[in-house]
Amino acid sequence: MGQDINVKKLKKNAFRYSKVRGETASRVRIPGGLVSAESMVRITQIAEKYGNGTIFVTNRQGVEIPGIRLEDMDAVNRELQFIIDDTGVNQQERDKGYPASGTRNVVACPGARLCPFGCYDTTAFARKMDQTIFPNNLHFKVAFTGCSNDCAKVRMNDFGVIGMTEPQYDPNRCVGCEQCVKYCKKRSVGALQAVNDKIVRDPDLCIGCGVCVAYCPTRAWTRSREHYFRLVLLGRTGKVNPRLAQDFIKWADEESILKIVKNAYAYVEEYIDKEAIEGKEHVGYIVDRTGFDEFVKWIMQDVQLPEKAEVASRLYWDGKRYDRSNNLK
Amino acid sequence: MGYILTKEGFDAVVDALKEQYRLYAPVLKKGEGRFTDTDVVRYDFVETAGQIELEKKSDYAFKELLTPLSETLFFFTEDAVKPADADLRPVIVFLRSCDLHAVKRLDQIYLANGKDRDWFYQRIRDCVRFALIGCGRTCADGFCVDMGSNRSTEGYMFSLDEVDGKILSDVKAPELEGLFAEKAERAGDVTPRYVTENSVRVSVPETVPNSIYKAGLWDEYSTRCIGCGRCNFVCPTCTCYTMQDVYYTDNGKVGERRRVASSCMVDGYTDVAGGGQYRKSCGERMRFKVLHKVYDYRRRFGYDMCVGCGRCDAVCPEYISFSACINKLDRAVKEAQSNG
pLDDT tens across B15-35, in order? 999 999 999 999 999 999 999
- The confidence score (pLDDT) of residue A325 equals 86
Domain check: are B49 and B99 in the same one? yes
Q: What does pTM read for this prediction?
A: 0.94
CA–CA gap between residue B107 and residue B116 (Å, rounded): 12
Tens of pLDDT along chain A (329 residues)?
578 999 999 999 999 999 999 999 999 999 999 999 999 999 999 999 999 999 999 999 999 999 999 999 999 999 999 999 999 999 999 999 999 999 999 999 999 999 999 999 999 999 999 999 999 999 999 999 999 999 999 999 999 999 999 999 999 999 999 999 999 999 999 999 999 999 999 999 999 999 999 999 999 999 999 999 999 999 999 999 999 999 999 999 999 999 999 999 999 999 999 999 988 999 999 999 999 999 999 999 999 999 999 999 999 998 999 999 888 88
- The pLDDT tens digits of the residues spanning B40-76 come to 999 999 999 999 999 999 999 999 999 999 999 999 9
Query: In chain A, what are the domain boundaries?
Result: 7-86, 107-163+227-311, 168-222
Q: Would you call A197 and B266 a contact, using CB atoms and an 8 Å cutoff?
A: no
- The pLDDT tens digits of the residues spanning B69-106 come to 999 999 999 999 999 999 999 999 999 999 999 999 99
Q: Would you call A217 and B246 a contact, using CB atoms and an 8 Å cutoff?
A: no
Neighbours of A215 (CB within 10 A): 21
Q: Domains in chain B: how many in total?
A: 2
Residue in B closest to A172 by C-alpha: B70
Domains A107-163+227-311 and A168-222 fall in the same CATH topology: no
A194 neighbourhood in chain B, CB within 8 Å? none
A186 neighbourhood in chain B, CB within 8 Å? none
Q: Which of A175, A212, A216 to mutate to test the interface with B (most CBs of B within 10 A)?
A: A175
Question: Which residues are within 8 A (CB) of A9 and not within 5 positions of it... i.e. 6 or more apart?
Answer: none
pLDDT at residue B340 is higher than 70: no
Q: What is the 3-state secondary structure (H, E, C) of chain A?
A: CCCCCCHHHHHHCCEEECCCCCEEEEEECCHHHCCCHHHHHHHHHHHHHCCCCCCEECCCCCEEEEEEEHHHHHHHHHHHHHHHHHCCCCCCCCCCCCCCCCCCCCEECCHHHCCCCCCCCHHHHHHHHHHHHCCCCCCCCEEEECCCCCCCCHHHCCEEEEEECCCEECHHHCCCCCHHHHHHHHHCCCCEEEECCEEEECCCCCCCCCHHHHHCCCCCEECCCCCEEEEEECCECCCCCCECCEEEEEEECHHHHHHHHHHHHHHHHHHCCCCCHHHCCCHHHHHHHHCHHHHHHHHCCCCCCCCCCEECCCCCCCCCCCCCCCCCC
Q: How far apart are the first and last CA of chain A?
A: 52
- Minimum distance, in Å, between the CA of residue B69 and any CA atom of chain A: 5
Domain check: are B163 and B225 in the same one? no
Tell me if B74 is assigned to some domain.
no
Tell me if B272 is assigned to some domain.
yes
* Domain boundaries A7-86, corresponding CATH code: 3.30.70.3340
Tell me if B195 is assigned to some domain.
no
**Residue A134 contacts residue A87 (beta carbons within 8 Å):** no
Domain encompassing residue B218? 210-240+266-338
A94–chain B Cβ distance below 8 A for any pair: no
Partners of B132 in the β-ladder:
B95, B159
Pairing of strands A246-252, A228-233: antiparallel
- The confidence score (pLDDT) of residue A1 equals 58
Q: With a cut of 0.90, is the ipTM above it? A: yes
Alpha-carbon torsion (B249, B251, B257, B258), positive or negative? negative
Domain check: are B27 and B173 in the same one? yes
**Residue A112 contacts residue B36 (beta carbons within 8 Å):** yes
Q: Does domain A168-222 have CATH number 3.30.70.20?
A: yes
- Phi and psi dihedrals of B4, rounded to 5? -110, 125
Quick one: CATH architecture of A107-163+227-311?
2-Layer Sandwich (3.30)
